[in-house]
Structure 1
Amino acid sequence: MKTFPKNFLWGSATSAPQSEGHSLKDGKSATTWDYWFKTSPEKFHENQGPANTSNMYEMYQEDCKRMKEIGLNSFRTSISWARLLPDGKNVNQEAVTFYRNYFKEIIKNDVKPIINLFHFDMPMWLMEKGGWETRESVDAFAFYAKTAFELFGDLIENWTTFNEPIVHIECGYLNGAHYPAIHDFKKAVQVGYHTLMAHVYAVQAFREVMASGSIGIILNITPAYARSDDKGDQIAKENADLLTMKSFLDPAVKGAIPNDLIQLIKEHDLTPKTVSTDTSLIKENTVDFIGLNYYQPLRVQAPVNPNFPAQTPDDLFAPYDWPEKRINPYRGWEIYPKAIYDVAMMMKNEYNNFPWYVSENGMGVANEERFLDEQGMIQDDYRIDFMKEHLDYLYQGIQEGSNCFGYHTWTFIDCWSWLNGYRNRYGFYRLELENNFKRRLKKSGLWYKETAQNNGY
């Protein structure tokens, strides 16, 4: 029996834009996803847009009971900025009623809510002004954060500012998977910097508004592993870690952007526009905890004939195809559970054993109906095996002293996933889109319930 620490969080995560539905109803204004689907629906898998997603807006009461039924003691979701403040200034009272009822229902079912403020869903009114490219976005986000704390702080103790900020930077400004789908390394760095400062100002607002509680940030961690010990490969690893991991982790925990990152950015003429007071604000507004999403590692090698100055991150660290890799064929991601132990040791040894939790970990699989049994339950043993492998290494890290306080899966109920729609499923509950959003428990949900109740397996 592998028993985890007392009061360990066994939970799951989703987001407002991926689960709520009602994307242009009940006072909510458009986000970049609403706009992109309207203008380019062909980009979305099977024309599955953000309008309905999993319909939690209408079904949250039953869904909160389902959380309790499978043993969750915690749950992370997000608030939709465009729902709460449709024009960025005026509060939508229908949104306030919905979120207060939703959060109360989570708590009523003995589940601890962790509420995130931004999960890739930029309001279109702000995007039209330049989005995260503009300094105005920092102040706009700070106002939104302060509003949320004031409206829901009596219910919610645990908050996070952003989910995976590196993703909306990379996908929106480097690889084309998120709107505005442009390719501009310098703009990507500026977007990243404004996102960081928006986070900092939100933490400052939290300290001003909330008398108690805690605030953190959710980062996606893709630990870099070099092809070899050769100097060029090792430099590639250092560059990858600086850009994809330490760029947000160090300011959030240590209160400073790494000097090596500042020099790297400067060397390649990528330095963003800043404000003189930013450095002191970053130092003064560190977080209380960190959530780390882990799905896959990052294999890197020295670039061959890179551009200078760098035009893309590939000029600083090139991808390496590790011949021994094990792949999830549906997502194309490497399955490497040991990295979660390496992350645990990193947090212990390099970040003064700062409190953290696994805020997402999961396995997406397409066409899961292949695994339906006669009773209508999906026998997703592959998902159970995936969780066990990762939890084995997480347990080892905790046994060796890493200050990890929880494990959340992605996700609770199959959810909409951006351009991929419902192609890959991750949930403990199967969502039947063609059957009025009916939820059906999968085998993995039963396993997770037993694990949560036993605080181990």
Structure 2
Amino acid sequence: MNKYQLPSDSKLLQSDFVFGVATSSYQIEGGVAEGGRTPSIWDTFCKTPNKVDNGDNGDVACDHYHLWQQDIEMIQGLGVDAYRLSIAWPRIMPQDGVVNPEGLAFYEEIIDECHARGMKVYVTLYHWDLPQYLEDKGGWLNRETSYKFAEYARAVSAHFGNKIDVYTTLNEPFVSAFLGYRWGNHAPGIKGEREGFLASHHLMLAHGLAMPILRSNAPHSKHGVVFNASPAYPATSKDQGAADYSEAENYHWFMDPVLKGEYPQLVVERQLVNMPMILEGDLDIISAPVDYVGINYYSRDVMRYNENGDIEKVIQEGAEHTFIGWEVYPQGLTDLLVRLNERYDNIPPIYITENGAACDDHSVVNGQLNDEQRVRYFQSHLNAVDQAIKAGVRVDGYFAWSLMDNFEWAFGYCQRFGMVHVDYQTQQRTLKQSAITYRNTLLARAEENK
């Protein structure tokens, strides 16, 4: 496949639809002790035995800290409209209340280079790398961290202002709160039901506190927040309640406070004993208007009640799965977008801020890597977005995850999501077939829109 086959009437071919690629700071940068950066919770977590596959860490990762210029050139070569990156909080504020000029300068060079090459910049302020000094004071279990995030947002937006085209407060608060503080799979590795819900409220409060600051400092930029979402389907006709609850806990819990000013009753009732302390006015803060919502989609969930009445996920035997074990289900992306459009009367424009697949594509042969499954994955999911738009959902852009292979959190380096292969020994980058196909699609679109 030379390029993705989109129908001639595809909304994705219009010139104002944004195509991009995405990365995050801890996953690609390395340079963890350079430029004034201090440790994050992921630096600490990676040093804890048996937490990350193979004992991997992000100390070097893709060495983007030193190779960013060639990486930005590579991104431009893909023909994208925008680059979505995240800023490392401990690079900007290495100590409580201290702003690091060297950290700001590092990102400023990247942003300026993107603009010089005609690409817009979408910046995420928090992609899970909380400064360790804040975790030492309780992290997201401490309400004060929400206010520290607002200070950090002020430092970044006061410096960059409108130079950052699109600001994102949080990436996937579900993962930060539940994998980090409820189930312990991610940094900081805390396990507790009450802790998970408390962290989730403080994350959403942080988002709300930052919004007016960002708007004040960057009035011409767009501001919003990114959620991961997996639509849920019942395993049998008797399991609709299990599917409904799965959606309520996994993403309505995070989206409803922003778009409806309340937490979903399904979760409140089931988790009453675990509910966080919500102070008067918190939900007014969290529900500050947003210019867009980002959606990260990878797969669906099929849910059922087990013999004990507990809700559990059902693995779809016989279905296609990626190397990481996630079912390939593009229809889920269409369904998700339509459901969100129906649930929220006031939903702003949506960006698909992450979508991609981890495939078993570790070896470059003769300078080439044919990641056939990923090519098919992108093809089917781009069509799924197009179908949602034709069904009446406003989707303004699509960002492939990820630009290149990187540190995949608790999976270390064994899972590869990249459109570009990275040899971690030599830091050699090689475009996979999926990147070439993506590039050819965007070049053809640009030609048609001349």
Same fold per superposition (TM over 0.5): yes
2:320 alignment counterpart: 326
1:387 alignment counterpart: 378
Q: Does 1:248 align with 2:223?
A: no
User: Residue 160 of structure 1: SS of its match in structure 2?
Assistant: strand
Q: Does 1:48 align with 2:56?
A: yes
How far apart are the structure 2 equivalents of 1:277 and 1:417?
37
1:430 alignment counterpart: 421
Q: Does 1:447 align with 2:441?
A: no
User: Residue 353 of structure 2: SS of its match in structure 1?
Assistant: strand
1:310 alignment counterpart: none
How far apart are the structure 1 equivalents of 2:420 and 2:386?
26
Deviation at 1:382, TM superposition (A): 1.6
Give the 5 Å matches for 1:151-300.
Answer: 151-230=159-238, 233-266=239-272, 269-283=273-287, 285-300=288-303
2:406 alignment counterpart: 415
Q: Which of 305, 308, 326 is 1:305 aligned to?
A: 308
User: Residue 58 of structure 2: SS of its match in structure 1?
Assistant: coil
How far apart are the structure 2 equivalents of 1:77 and 1:91?
20
Cα distance, 1:12–1:187 mapped onto 2, change above 3 Å: same
Larger deviation, residues 256-265 vs 294-303: 256-265
2:134 alignment counterpart: 126
1:32·1:121 contact (CA, 8 Å) conserved in 2? yes
How far apart are the structure 2 equivalents of 1:334 and 1:447?
22
Q: Which runs of 4+ in 1 moved over 6 A?
A: none
User: Residue 115 of structure 1: SS of its match in structure 2?
Assistant: strand
Q: Does 1:396 align with 2:387?
A: yes
How far apart are the structure 2 equivalents of 1:148 and 1:363?
31
Deviation at 1:253, TM superposition (A): 2.5
How far apart are the structure 1 equivalents of 2:440 and 2:261?
40
1:366·1:423 contact (CA, 8 Å) conserved in 2? no
Q: Does 1:30 align with 2:20?
A: no
Q: How many residues align?
A: 437
1:165·1:219 contact (CA, 8 Å) conserved in 2? yes
The code of the aligned residue for 1:29 comes to: T
Deviation at 1:323, TM superposition (A): 4.0
1:254·1:286 contact (CA, 8 Å) conserved in 2? no
1:225·1:237 contact (CA, 8 Å) conserved in 2? yes
Deviation at 1:173, TM superposition (A): 2.7
1:145·1:205 contact (CA, 8 Å) conserved in 2? yes
How far apart are the structure 1 equivalents of 2:388 and 2:200?
30
How far apart are the structure 2 equivalents of 1:258 and 1:286?
19
How far apart are the structure 1 equivalents of 2:319 and 2:181?
28
Deviation at 1:252, TM superposition (A): 2.1
User: Residue 274 of structure 2: SS of its match in structure 1?
Assistant: coil
How far apart are the structure 2 equivalents of 1:455 and 1:200?
37
How far apart are the structure 2 equivalents of 1:398 and 1:78?
27
Deviation at 1:106, TM superposition (A): 1.3
How far apart are the structure 1 equivalents of 2:124 and 2:46?
24
Q: Does 1:139 align with 2:142?
A: no
Deviation at 1:441, TM superposition (A): 1.5
Deviation at 1:184, TM superposition (A): 0.9
Deviation at 1:208, TM superposition (A): 2.8
User: Residue 424 of structure 1: SS of its match in structure 2?
Assistant: coil
1:256·1:282 contact (CA, 8 Å) conserved in 2? no
Deviation at 1:302, TM superposition (A): 1.7
The code of the aligned residue for 1:219 comes to: F
Q: Does 1:19 align with 2:28?
A: yes
Report percent identity of matched pairs.
29
1:215·1:289 contact (CA, 8 Å) conserved in 2? yes
Q: Which of 109, 112, 121 is 2:117 aligned to?
A: 109
Deviation at 1:24, TM superposition (A): 1.9
Deviation at 1:367, TM superposition (A): 4.6
2:108 alignment counterpart: 100
How far apart are the structure 2 equivalents of 1:225 and 1:361?
20
1:344·1:397 contact (CA, 8 Å) conserved in 2? yes
1:67·1:111 contact (CA, 8 Å) conserved in 2? no
2:211·2:223 contact (CA, 8 Å) conserved in 1? yes
User: Residue 205 of structure 2: SS of its match in structure 1?
Assistant: helix
2:230·2:336 contact (CA, 8 Å) conserved in 1? no
The code of the aligned residue for 1:169 comes to: A
- Root-mean-square deviation over aligned CA pairs: 1.8
Cα distance, 1:402–1:126 mapped onto 2, change above 3 Å: same
